[in-house]
Structure 1
Amino acid sequence: MPDYQYPSLDPHQTRTHEPTQWQKELANAIESVFVKGARELDEVVAGLNGTRVRPPNGADWTPENFTALMRELGA
């Protein structure tokens, strides 16, 4: 009987393709916002609005467009 191996976490296990440059910049911006202490959706949105990364339509981030994009990206 083989030794049991704990399942490993692959952070890209649901990825179907390589992220675009914009997606990489968004991920970095989100990480930066969390590092600065944001925990609630409104804090994340406000933090993203303080970055140069904008939603695909170029407008400001809102709770609605942020959550819709996260659903679309499968996050």
Structure 2
Amino acid sequence: MNDTRQDVYLNPHQARRRQPTQFEDLLGDSIERAYAAGIHDLPALVAHLNRTGPGCPHNDGIWTETLYQEEIARLAA
């Protein structure tokens, strides 16, 4: 079957309203590296971010589980 329709469900940027900031790019890259290294739980992810960055935009750059959850919720809004 030769279907020429564009599959919008596979467009990874369909909900994006703007280009990501440098911080968002760095955070996403760091999270991807953590997942690739087998890190999948929140405490280990927060520890990874504190080791590798980027730093938390609050709390003198130190991530906590609560601050991570709040920042991800803010970025998702």
TM-score range for the pair, normalised by the shorter chain length: 0.7 to 0.9
Q: How many residues align?
A: 74
Unaligned runs of 5+ in 1: none
Distance 1:40 1:13 in 2: 28
Give the equivalent residue in structure 2 for 1:43.
Answer: 44
SS class of match (1:8): helix
Give the equivalent residue in structure 1 for 2:75.
Answer: 73
RMSD over equivalenced CA pairs, Å:
2.2
Counterparts in 2 of 1:8-47, with a 5 A limit? 8-47=9-48
Cα offsets for 1:3-56 (capped at 9, x unmatched): 987653222222111001111011101111111111111111111111131111
Give the TM-score, by structure 2 length: 0.80
Give the TM-score, by structure 1 length: 0.81
Identity of aligned residues (%): 32
